[in-house]
Structure 1
Amino acid sequence: MTMILNTYSDNSIPLFDISKNLAFKKYLPTSELEHNWGFIINDIGHTVIPKNSVYPSTGHPGTHMFSWEKGRVLNEYHFVLITHGKGIFENRFSGKQNINAGDGFVVFPDEWHRYKPLKETGWTENWVGFSGQIPDIIMGNVFVDKEHPIISKCANMLVLNLLKSLFQLITEEPFGYQRTASGVCHQLLAELCNIQQGSETSKQVNSLISKAKYIMHEKIDEDIDFQAFCKNHGISYSKFRADFKKQTGYAPLQFFLLMKVEKAKDLLNNTNMLAKEIAFQLGFKSDHYFSRIFKMKTGLTPVEFRIRHRIPD
């Protein structure tokens, strides 16, 4: 993988060695098999736009061509990563936004948008277009929204290597490459989501969340005072709780209780311990409280769970 020094961000950003040419693009035919799979890779490309060049470049299908004056509407998602240069992105929700090397942005289906490099810098763009039921769920529920389509500083090594894998698969077209490529693209979206959500939380809080999870594992049989934990680390509990829930989907205490329930499942399946003994070992205040929490999280009492799930000796 070739490395260049990006003079705009002072970071070394890997570039793709896809082709000896300045441009590579491929638009893929799709069949009922891809539609049934639920995640379709429609197109992929890499283009170097030198400074003072006409934009966009030619050779795209009519559905994908556009001018800055008119913009464009696609029937698919696009993720575009800029690895060199600067430019501007705009959709009807976000307004004009500056794009720098290392930034990515998301284009949504059936939504007007436009983008271009600055004349004085040009840029290098890398994109993948995708659609399907699975992307609709991901993009609609947990990912970027149309008002905030920019993912800043997302060109880390994992993102770049995943894109490179997509280029390789679609260039070589081995058996089942569409399905494999959709899995790689799914992983790409997961990493972009992690980057976006991680950037919304300070490094200090991310570190404390990791530390709290470690303590939960180590003290699974105890109680943890999360208020005291936050006070000892100089952060308000409300801030820590909000960021913890943003990352995990649960407040710290609920997450800890779920861990205890998972440990209880293991003990019910693999030991002869009574429910009240498990409750005592895992630090519950009473076996009644343990049974209530267990049923709330699993839909079964501990005894019912053991009968239904335990494998006979």
Structure 2
Amino acid sequence: MNVANKIGSHKNIWHGLGRQRIEIPKTVIKSKVQNNPILSKLYVCSLGYYPKAEKHYTYRKKGLPENFLFYCVDGKGWYQLEDKKYEVSANEFFILPQHTEHAYGSSDDDPWTIYWIHFGGDSLPEFNNMQVVQKHFKPSYVKISEEVTGLFTKIYKSLELGYSLDNLVFTNMCLSHFISLFIYNPRHYPQHTQDKLDSIDSAILYMHQHISENITLTELCKHYNYSASRFSSLFKQKTGYAPIDYFIQLKMQKATQQLDFTDKSVKSIAMSMGFDDPYYFSKRFRKIIGMSPKKYRMTRKD
């Protein structure tokens, strides 16, 4: 059968009118990407655009050695990740993690139109362990944005010009931003997002709004209706810090700004951040910033 006349998926590659697809040769990835400290952490493996992908279907028992980001802009489809099956509609995306059994396909009645990108790298295990990534193993709404499709086009057109080191560096720097447009979509478009802040993001915003006060863990837990252990666990899972440690860090960030932009005394700054004892303030400042407030003011003049 002539490949040009094929319709549907053959050997896990969809054939149909209007498709776009680039796969970076494994020889290029091995010789120019995996040994490059700038590129090896997270890099593009392949990407494509399938319009009205009729009879699109793929099954991989062992998954892929890389991750797969899938963005549906029109139509419908489905995917199965291990033993769970999900429906996908327009303006939704999902991520398939590496080395995980999966299958996916377009709707028979309303075939999806999709952008997709495979990305690998040494940092994938840590990337996939992030809470913000794991929640997108399920379908997630993403705000329609010309920035998303525009950045995809930049990556695609750059790779069409070949696999020079300059092109590879450009596309892989774009990749991190491209991924962030999805997994952090509400942060890029907060005024339009349909999602409410989760309790941890809300707590951080609450801390920021009450930066000059002394908030206790008990107050935060009561405010968000969690036990202390549960709230602390969720907070550390997302931020890497205990709640009050994070709050103190925010205070010190604000303190450095006052040291940079005002002539206020250290005592006055300490009081404005809720510290009655300037010596204790200086001790916490030194632990977080790495030097005393006075030394910081003297050295941070650039």
* TM-score (norm. length: structure 1): 0.67
What's the CA shift string for 1:62-105, capped at 9, x where partnerless? xxxx5x5x65622111111112222221121x511111122212
Q: Which 5+ residue runs of structure 1 have no aligned equivalent?
A: 1-19, 57-65
1:120 maps to 2:109: yes
Separation of aligned partners in 2, 1:270 and 1:99? 50
Moved more, 283-292 or 259-268: 259-268
**1:22-37 superposed matches below 5 A:** 22-29=18-25, 30-31=28-29, 32-35=31-34, 36=36, 37=39
Counterpart of 2:76, as a letter, is K
- CA drift of 1:186 comes to 0.6
* TM-score (norm. length: structure 2): 0.69
Residue in 1 that maps onto 2:283: 292
1:44 maps to 2:47: yes
CA 1:289–1:161: 2 relative to 1, 3 Å: same
Residue of structure 1 aligned with 2:100, choices 111, 126, 142: 111
Moved more, 162-171 or 82-91: 162-171
- CA drift of 1:194 comes to 1.6
Separation of aligned partners in 2, 1:200 and 1:293? 39
Separation of aligned partners in 1, 2:108 and 2:137? 23
CA 1:142–1:178: 2 relative to 1, 3 Å: farther
Residue in 2 that maps onto 1:97: 86
Separation of aligned partners in 2, 1:165 and 1:24? 13
Counterpart of 2:152, as a letter, is L
Residue in 2 that maps onto 1:202: 196
Counterpart of 1:279, as a letter, is A
Separation of aligned partners in 1, 2:122 and 2:186? 22
Secondary structure of 1:144's aligned partner: helix
- CA drift of 1:293 comes to 2.0
Separation of aligned partners in 1, 2:113 and 2:91? 10
Residue in 1 that maps onto 2:11: none
Secondary structure of 2:154's aligned partner: helix
- CA drift of 1:132 comes to 0.9
* Residues 62, 99 of structure 2: 8 Å contact kept: no
Residue of structure 1 aligned with 2:129, choices 122, 140, 147: 140
Q: Which 5+ residue runs of structure 2 have no aligned equivalent?
A: 1-15
What's the CA shift string for 1:97-139, capped at 9, x where partnerless? 1111222121222221111112122221211111112444323
**1:252-271 superposed matches below 5 A:** 254-266=245-257
Counterpart of 1:48, as a letter, is P
**1:75-86 superposed matches below 5 A:** 75-86=65-76
- CA drift of 1:302 comes to 3.5
Separation of aligned partners in 2, 1:194 and 1:288? 39
1:184 maps to 2:191: no
Q: Percent of aligned positions with the same letter in both sequences?
A: 18
CA 1:25–1:223: 2 relative to 1, 3 Å: same
Separation of aligned partners in 1, 2:33 and 2:143? 28
Moved more, 284-293 or 194-203: 194-203
- CA drift of 1:275 comes to 3.7
CA 1:137–1:76: 2 relative to 1, 3 Å: same
Secondary structure of 2:133's aligned partner: coil
Secondary structure of 2:63's aligned partner: coil
Residue in 2 that maps onto 1:236: 223
Separation of aligned partners in 2, 1:143 and 1:214? 21
Residue in 1 that maps onto 2:209: 215
Residue of structure 2 aligned with 1:149, choices 130, 137, 140: 137
Separation of aligned partners in 2, 1:185 and 1:163? 9
* Residues 105, 149 of structure 1: 8 Å contact kept: yes
Separation of aligned partners in 2, 1:45 and 1:254? 44
Separation of aligned partners in 2, 1:213 and 1:276? 22
What's the CA shift string for 1:174-229, capped at 9, x where partnerless? 8512111112211122222224899896259799668646635xxx6x426689x9
Aligned length: 270
* Residues 226, 252 of structure 1: 8 Å contact kept: no
Moved more, 249-258 or 113-122: 249-258
* Residues 143, 185 of structure 2: 8 Å contact kept: no
What's the CA shift string for 1:122-168, capped at 9, x where partnerless? 221211111112444323334433x8612322253043333233223
